[in-house]
Structure 1
């Protein structure tokens, strides 16, 4: 089983005044849409990590079966939120999900979870990396064997150097679309996606 660590703690500074996760998306919010896609993929344990504007973030998924944990250190960077989620996760692997990657489909999440389940049996330290036309994207799936390494990781904005340091455990999954490359950083990103 994989646990989804859904990162929803950021301050969306590059978006200006609005919180990108609360923007409308297909009749819902960006965050609730992403969460529902993970649920539809059959991910049984989803840990939502909040930080900035936590009450509003929590309200948008109040009716969904997710665990919510607040990261009081969210301003220090993404890594602290990953660590907060991993501390309470029960899965054999952690799929590290960015809440603004709203284009990723349930089938694509399932593809990565299945790849982890298959690879884990032969490499208990596997790191699953999605790619599209030679470009690496997100979400990455870590075996739980990396738990302590991630908890001790000092890089503030994610686990890139940890991933790069262990190519012998990489397993690349070709994805059917470029959804794994698209997130919402700037207002124009959002406008392009909703057109």
Structure 2
């Protein structure tokens, strides 16, 4: 059984006043598109980790069937959200896919490619998407890392990457031909560039929640 953990608790500090999860993305919001793509993938349960403006995100995701986890300490960093989301997954879950709300452009096909590759083998306990040797998101991690993950400090300098780097010999690199896995919406210019092919297209200044 595979859980999906979508990290959406942050404040979008680099977005010049806009709130990233609620920006328009075609006929949905950014967070709505992430949930839509994950919901069509081979994921058994989806947890959305919320913090900043969590009630508004709940409203945007009404009817999607996802479960919500509130991180009151989201300002401590992304790792705190990973941990609180991980703590909620079902006992029968053997792995979790960790995704970022910054990446609404990751399609179901790439998510499933990662999942299929992970479950097609039993040697590696971490699976990452890779483009030309560079690792991207989302990632899949075995439940076996739970104890180690929970012992990490929320403000660990490199967050989850610290754990992954400790276990480089256990990483399955899933090579894809799409550089989108290396992209994320970090600033308004990223939103404009990455959403150009989305229909309908919204210019950043025209829709600024």
Where do residues 1-195 of structure 1 align in structure 2 (5 Å cutoff)? 1-90=1-90, 91-119=93-121, 122-123=122-123, 126-154=125-153, 155=156, 158-195=159-196
CA contact (8 A) 1:77 1:157 kept: no
SS in 1 for 2:14: helix
Local SS of the residue matching 2:110: helix
3-state SS, counterpart of residue 103 of structure 1: coil
Q: Write the deviation string for residues 33-68 of structure 1: whole angstroms up to 9, x where unpaired.
A: 110000111312100000001001111111101110
TM superposition shift of 1:103:
1.0
* Alpha-carbon shift at residue 176 of structure 1 (Å): 2.9
Q: 2-side partners of 1:95 and 1:176: how far apart?
A: 20
**Does the aligned pair in 1 maintain the 2:126–2:141 contact within 8 Å?**
yes
Supply the RMSD in Å over aligned alpha carbons.
1.2
Q: Is the 8 A contact 2:42 2:115 kept in 1?
A: no
Measured in 1, the distance between the counterparts of 2:60 and 2:172 equals 34
Deviations 1:148-178 (A, max 9, x none): 1111112165310111111121110011311
Whether the aligned pair in 2 keeps the contact of 1:80 and 1:156 (CA below 8 Å) is no
The runs of 5 or more residues in structure 2 that have no matched partner are 197-209
Secondary structure of the residue aligned to 1:137 is strand
Query: Contact 2:48–2:66 at 8 Å: present in 1 too?
Result: yes
Question: 1-side partners of 2:96 and 2:85: how far apart?
Answer: 9
Cα distance in structure 1, aligned partners of 2:28 and 2:133:
32
Q: CA deviation at 1:23?
A: 0.3
